[in-house]
């Protein structure tokens, strides 16, 4: 996502400063052009770190229990991946 946003930003900068020459391409504008995406991407990453769902409690579960019938075409679990059955 960040790469896509940087590509769009670079295209806009190219259009405004190089192609159309609406603004001068001098040291001041070059500094601003570099600082804006750095600040914006930092803010985006920090914002997503706060609002994006995350959890330290990750659990893997199976849709089917052992011994349960599976629908036709469903793949059985890998024999090497099965846990050993308890004795008795």
**41, 61 in Cβ contact below 8 A?**
no
**42, 54 in Cβ contact below 8 A?**
no
Give CA–CA dist 88/85, Å, rounded.
9
Residue 47: half-sphere exposure toward Cβ, Cα within 13 Å: 6
Res 63: pLDDT: 67
Res 76: pLDDT: 66
Residues 75-87 have a mean pLDDT of: 62
Q: Which tens digit of pLDDT belongs to each residue from 27-70?
A: 999 999 999 999 999 999 999 999 988 888 877 776 656 666 66
**19 against 74, higher pLDDT:** 19
Helix crossing, 2-13 with 27-51: angle to 10°?
160
| In the chain, where the domains are located | 2-51
Assign 8 a pLDDT band (cuts: 50, 70, 90). very high
**What values do phi and psi take at 4, rounded to 5?**
-65, -45
Give, as one character, the DSSP assignment of residue 78. Answer: P
């Amino acid at each position: 996502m960040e790469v896509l946003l940087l590509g769009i930003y670079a295209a806009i900068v190219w259009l405004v400063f190089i192609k159309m020459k609406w603004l001068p391409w001098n040291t001041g504008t070059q500094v601003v052009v570099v600082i804006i995406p750095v600040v914006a991407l930092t803010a985006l990453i920090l914002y997503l770190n706060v609002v994006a769902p995350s959890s330290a409690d990750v659990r893997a579960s199976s849709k089917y229990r052992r011994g349960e019938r599976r629908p036709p075409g469903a793949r059985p679990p890998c024999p090497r991946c099965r846990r050993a059955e308890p004795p008795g």
